[in-house]
Amino acid sequence: MIHVYVGPTLHPDELLFSDPSVRRLPPVRHGDLFDHAIADTDTVVLIDGLYHQAAALRHKEILAALARGIRVLGAASIGALRAAELHRFGMRGVGGIFRRYLSGELTGDDEVAVGQAPDGDRQALTWPLVNLRYVLDLAQQDGVVSAAMATVLLEEFRAVYYPQRTESAVRAICRSHHATALTVWIGERRTVDPYFGDLKRLDALKALRAALSGLEPALQARADALHWDTPYFRRWHAHFATEHVDGLELPTALRIAYQQIFDPDFPQVWHDHLDQLSVHPDDGEPGMPLPERMARLTGNATSTPPLHVVFRIPVDVQDENTVKRLLANESAPDRTSLARYLAANDDTRHTIPGFLPETIKDTEAQRTLQQLWRCPPAALDDAAAARGFRSAAHAIDTVKIFMAGVLDDQI
Q: Which residues of 312-321 are buried (b: 16+ CB within 10 A; e: fewer)?
A: eeebebeeee
Compute the distance between CA of residue 103 and CA of residue 68 in angstroms, rounded to an integer. 28
Instruction: Work out the pLDDT band at 290, boundaries 50, 70, 90.
Output: confident
Q: How remote is the C-alpha of 240 from its chain's centroid? A: 8
Rounded Cα distance between 61 and 41, Å, is 16
**Average pLDDT of 347-362?**
87
Per-residue pLDDT at 217 exceeds 80 = no
Q: Is residue 301 over pLDDT 70?
A: no
Residue range 34-47, pLDDT digits in tens:
888 899 899 999 99
> With bands split at pLDDT 50, 70 and 90, how would you rate the model's confidence at 136?
very high
Lowest mean pLDDT among 71-85, 174-188, 292-306, 351-365: 292-306
pLDDT at 116 over 90: no
**Reported pTM:** 0.67
Q: Where are the alpha helices (DSSP H) in 280-377?
A: 290-298, 307-310, 320-326, 332-351, 362-373
Measuring CA to CA, how many Å separate 114 from each of 48, 65, 93, 142, 310? Answer: 10, 27, 20, 27, 52
